[in-house]
């Protein structure tokens, strides 16, 4: 299924739900809490976010030139 078809299917489902012709789907997710973590673990998560933020800023400043 293409991206367009997938989006259209979702929109059509939303319209049918709004019209009362379709029951809403339910999904239940369970997220297990982390037992322990330390600053090193947090750094591993934050490092890529900082890198991509800096990359976006560099791209924006280059694009303006």
pLDDT tens, residue by residue, 1-58: 888 998 899 899 999 999 999 988 888 889 888 778 788 877 777 777 777 777 777 8
pLDDT at 51: 78
31: left (phi over 0), alpha (psi -120 to 50) or beta: beta
| Residue 63 reports pLDDT greater than 70 | no
| Residue 64 reports pLDDT greater than 70 | no
d(CA 50, CA 30) in angstroms, rounded, equals: 28
Distance (Å) of CA 5 to CA 1, 38, 43, 49 = 6, 44, 39, 32
pLDDT at 65: 57
**H/E run at residue 7:** helix 3-18
């Amino acid at each position: 299924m293409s991206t367009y078809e997938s989006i259209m299917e979702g929109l059509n489902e939303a319209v049918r739900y709004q019209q009362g012709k379709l029951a809403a789907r339910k999904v239940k997710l369970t997220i297990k809490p982390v037992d322990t973590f330390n600053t090193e673990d947090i750094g591993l998560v934050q490092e890529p976010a900082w890198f991509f933020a800096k990359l976006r800023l560099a791209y924006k400043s280059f694009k303006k030139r």
